[in-house]
């Protein structure tokens, strides 16, 4: 009888230790997921160009190695919608088709800005039909100028390169809300150091 109790106690001890290890591992995974999938948008302001300021002319490159200029003068009324994405970002993959649909509905020129190694970005584009036919540009300069630190981030530019909207997005409602706040024409006299109410990344 005593032997049975010792064996039972040993089994319970092993089971308790196993559960403790599993709980620690589970807590760690929950922490990782919380960091990755935490609600985006309305984050604290960080340094970098913001709404109302003008993006400098930057020559970046597409995945095919062709030059692509951001911040250049566009035809009157044209607007560029920049979506910053990364191959390892699961939220980005969910937002990409939504952004493409919204851009098409609103007549915006959608441009993907990729973060990470080019081979991974090429694999991402090849595996996702909704990314076909849309330029994907690479280079850290634009992300540094705008201080894009988390993704997916969206930036809307007018024909002069003025930032009309800027924020992190992870749902259609957030995208439409961000674009709903855009101004069709910046106030007169606004310069590249001007300030407006903003939604910062």
Identify the domain containing residue 165 by its residue range.
58-180
pTM (2 decimals)?
Answer: 0.68
pLDDT at 29: 64
The answer to whether residue 53 sits within a structural domain is no
The answer to whether residue 149 sits within a structural domain is yes
Number of domains into which the chain is organized: 2
H-state helical runs in the chain: 2-37, 90-106, 118-127, 141-146, 172-180
Same domain, 5 and 73: no
Q: What is the mean pLDDT of the chain?
A: 81
Question: Each residue of 111-169: pLDDT tens digit?
Answer: 999 999 999 999 999 999 999 999 999 988 999 999 998 999 999 999 999 999 999 99
The answer to whether residue 52 sits within a structural domain is no
The answer to whether residue 187 sits within a structural domain is no
The answer to whether residue 122 sits within a structural domain is yes
3-state DSSP percent of the chain in helix, strand and coil, to 5: 40, 20, 40
Integer angstrom CA distances of residue 58 from 38, 70, 71, 144, 185: 32, 5, 6, 12, 22
Same domain, 172 and 103: yes
Same domain, 28 and 82: no
- 168: tokens are 């992190």
Strand 136-138 with 80-86, pairing: unpaired
The answer to whether residue 29 sits within a structural domain is yes
Same domain, 15 and 71: no
**Choice between 129 and 21, residue whose per-residue pLDDT is larger:** 129
């Amino acid at each position: 009888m005593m032997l049975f109790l010792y064996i039972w106690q040993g089994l319970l001890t092993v089971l308790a230790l196993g559960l403790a290890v599993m709980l620690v591992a589970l807590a760690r995974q929950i922490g990782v997921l919380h960091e990755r999938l935490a609600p985006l948008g309305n984050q604290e302001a960080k340094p970098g160009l913001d709404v109302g300021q003008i993006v400098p002319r930057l020559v970046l490159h597409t995945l095919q190695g062709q030059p692509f200029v951001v911040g250049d003068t566009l035809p009157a009324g044209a607007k560029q919608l920049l979506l910053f994405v990364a191959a390892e970002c699961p939220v980005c993959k969910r937002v990409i088709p939504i952004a493409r649909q919204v851009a098409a509905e609103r007549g915006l020129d959608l441009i993907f800005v990729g973060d990470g190694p080019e081979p991974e970005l090429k694999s991402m584009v090849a595996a996702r039909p909704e990314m076909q036919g849309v330029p994907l540009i690479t280079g850290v300069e634009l992300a540094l100028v705008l201080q894009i630190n988390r993704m997916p981030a969206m930036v809307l530019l007018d024909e002069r390169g003025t930032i009309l909207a800027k924020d992190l997005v992870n749902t259609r409602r957030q995208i439409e809300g961000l674009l709903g706040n855009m101004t069709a024409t910046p106030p007169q006299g606004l310069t590249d150091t001007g300030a407006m109410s903003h939604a910062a990344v």
